[in-house]
Amino acid sequence: MSRGGAGNRSATGEAGAIPPGLAVQYIDRWSAASQLLLLSTLERLCGKDVPNDARQAQLSVSHVIVATYHDAPMACVTYKPGAAGVRVAHELWVDANAPCGIVPVTGALLGRLEQEVIRSGCSKLFIVVSHTTPLRRILQTQGYTITLEGADLLWFEKAFHPEPDRAA
């Protein structure tokens, strides 16, 4: 189910202090992730923003990355394979009361998401979050810019440059 731990660097190469006990794992499908992300966990992570039926339908066809602290889920992000070169993360939840802090959890989660996006050959990542998200400053610090701001949603964007071919 997992493709490994979070490591200590983001996909952009920035060093990040990963607290002991914090791990990040890629899970191929929501059906496998839902065993870890029970309704009570989602309520804790999402607050009042628990996904409605339409959003849950999107989750069923999504890839998931989960951050845990001592095996307790602290955050997750879901994204769908999309058009060539673009990925959209349509759900991003981080426990505002994470014992190891919201910044390290978010940084580790974003680092793993970026690794997956780059590995898939994408050059652009969009993250869609609620307008009331407490993650706005963290996303901006991590290099994301707001490209669309609506009444309810914020669209953040980050571009990636393909890595040079190592065989050349």
Q: Give pLDDT tens digits for 39-49.
A: 667 766 766 66
Residue 42 lies in a domain: yes
Q: What is the pLDDT of residue 1?
A: 28
Residue 76 in domain: yes
CA distances for 127 relative to 35, 69, 131, 148, angstroms:
24, 23, 12, 11
Its domain, for residue 83, covers 22-159
Does the residue 8 lie in any domain? no
pLDDT tens digit sequence for 59-89: 888 889 999 999 999 999 989 877 677 888 9
Other Cβ atoms less than 10 A from the Cβ of 161: the count is: 8
CATH number at residue 44: 3.40.630.30
More confident residue, 159 or 161: 159
Q: Is residue 15 domain-resident?
A: no
Cα(26)–Cα(67) distance, integer angstroms: 9
> Could you tell me the sign of the dihedral formed by the alpha carbons of 137, 143, 144, 146, in that order?
positive
pLDDT tens by residue, 87-104? 889 889 899 889 999 999
Q: How many domains is the chain built from? A: 1
pLDDT digits (tens, 9 = 90+) for 121-152: 888 999 999 888 889 999 999 999 999 998 88
128 within a domain of the structure (yes/no) = yes
